[in-house]
Amino acid sequence: MTLIRSFFALAAVAWCGAALHAQPAQDPRFQSAGACGRCHVVSVLEWGSSRHFKAEVDCIACHGPSAGHVIDERNNIKPDKIPHGAAITGLCVECHSAACPKTKSKETCSTCHHIHALVDPKRPLDNRDPEWEAQRQRWVEAKIPAADGSALMGRGQWQEALQQFERSLVLRPGEPEVQRRVQACRRRLAPGLPGFERVGDTFDPKTGLPTLVVARELGLQFALIPGGRVELGSTHHGDSTPLHTVAVRPFYLAVTELTQGQWTALMGQNPSLYQGPKYPEAVRSPVENISWSDCQAAIARLNQRVPGGGFRLPTEAEWEFAAREGGESANDAFNLAAPRPVASGRPNRFGIFDLRGNVWEWCSSLYRPYPYDAQDGREAPEGKDLRVLRGGGFADGAAWFDVSARFGERPDRRLGTNGLRLARSVPE
């Protein structure tokens, strides 16, 4: 009996495979899932019969590009994301933020809906369902004010654009892109950030945030890193593999590493090794010989002093985003006998100096194997394992030029090569 069942199962899979094989040439949506369909035939067919397929929500949207997994036929490298349990629901509500229309629930979606097919098991699959058609009509209508809003945004008419986006949201509640634009308009209409002063009059068109601000408490400039998806890791550094995609939210990153002068102003003492008469420019050089725990103490003190707080170390994903997307900087500080004053070279595209070289920069993340997942506990502040250092130091050579290279150190260890660069989350 088992044999017969197995035979039919294999035959079904083979038929599905053949059917799928016939599809990609006609439909570009199947082309995007073609690589997945080589092995995951049934899953791709399930998805192909779903509304996700029609809405062009493809495999990458939930599982990430999974470049390593695609090229590794022995399946040693897993996909970037394989959500389970509550994580599935987390993915669902990213788009279906208005909750389930039937149960009004935002939890346990997968108990009623198939994880790939998203069909109601009690209802026949029918695209001409009147309820669905009505909803689709509302969505089509919602696109009109959204498009108008975007045009108004482009002309700098923020108030009018906001009204259009809010109108669109009434027709299609929870549309993430429109929500982002609403937020951008609101930020643009009230551009002040607590604890920061704006430098210049340049704003990021996507987020509506000022691109350059200064924290007067420290006299330290912060540049806006607009966020997005970044290919994290590399294929040639042992502990930076596999290459995988991570989404990074917008955040502010200090333009320079924290200097000895700034640290002294904040903490009242200077722990650096490279100071004294031999180093006349030490005040402008990065503070070093500090542990991760020292950084946390300094950040706690800064957050008490500055209204709004929110200062922190960057995560390693944020750090790599700023280094990778910011492009090449010039005159990196490597192969030196001592750290050099900050901002001595040329900045990268975001205006950030010395991401590569000068001092190693502590990140908030625990030093754990890739792929990076901020939700797996590696960003927990209480972990006592190694913490990530990024960027290479003045004493290092070419091996650390690569922005994907990562290193771990004990959180309580102070070394003359390790310093910090502050980050700050964007207020919601």
Partner 1 sequence: MMLDRKLTRRAWLAGVAGAAGAAFTRASPVREYERGGMVYRRLGRTDIDLSLLSFGSHTDPADRIKIGRLGTVLTEAGQARRDRIIARAFDHGVNLLDVYVNEGQLEPAARLVRERRSRVLVSMAHDFTPDGIDRACRAFGHVDLHRFHTPEIDGRALADWDILRKAKAAGKVRAIGLATHVEKCMETALDELEGIDFIFFPYNFIHARADYSSFLPKAIERGVGLIAMKPLASGSLVQLDPYAHAGAAPERAKIELWKRGAKPLMPSVVAELTKSLGRTPDDTLCMAAMRFVYSRQFIHSAITGMFDERWLDDNYQALETYKEFKGEQEMALRGTAEKLRKLGSNWLPTEYRWLDREWRA
Residues of this chain that interact with partner 1 (CB under 8 A) are 238-239, 386, 395-397, 399-400, 405, 407-410, 413-417
Q: How far is the CB of 39 from partner 1 (least distance, A)?
A: 26
Q: What are the phi and psi torsion angles at 225 (to 5°)?
A: -105, 115
Query: Which of 94, 412 has the CB closer to partner 1?
Result: 412
Query: Which of 253, 366 has the CB closer to partner 1?
Result: 366
Q: How far is the CB of 378 from partner 1 (least distance, A)?
A: 17
Is residue 231 within 8 Å of 240, Cβ to Cβ?
no
- Looking up tokens 């700034």 gives 262
Query: Which of 254, 333 has the CB closer to partner 1?
Result: 333
Sequence-ordered alpha helix ranges (H) in 124-214: 130-154, 158-171, 176-189
* DSSP one-letter code for 286: B
Query: Which of 234, 303 has the CB closer to partner 1?
Result: 234
Amino acid letter, residue 266? L
Q: How far is the CB of 236 from partner 1 (least distance, A)?
A: 9
Q: How far is the CB of 93 from partner 1 (least distance, A)?
A: 40
Query: Which of 183, 293 has the CB closer to partner 1?
Result: 293
Query: Which of 100, 273 has the CB closer to partner 1?
Result: 273
Please state, in angstroms and rounded to a whole number, the distance separating the CA atoms of residues 237 and 219: 37
Q: How far is the CB of 359 from partner 1 (least distance, A)?
A: 12
Query: Which of 157, 293 has the CB closer to partner 1?
Result: 293
Please state, in angstroms and rounded to a whole number, the distance separating the CA atoms of residues 251 and 294: 22
Beta bridge partners of residue 330, listed in sequence order: 346
Q: How far is the CB of 341 from partner 1 (least distance, A)?
A: 22
The candidate with the shortest Cα–Cα distance to 404, out of 323, 314, 313, 292, is: 323
Please state, in angstroms and rounded to a whole number, the distance separating the CA atoms of residues 317 and 240: 12
Q: What are the phi and psi torsion angles at 385 (to 5°)?
A: -75, -175
Amino acid letter, residue 387? R
The candidate with the shortest Cα–Cα distance to 21, out of 36, 9, 38, 8, is: 38
- Looking up tokens 């495999």 gives 59
CB atoms within 10 A of CB 327: 9
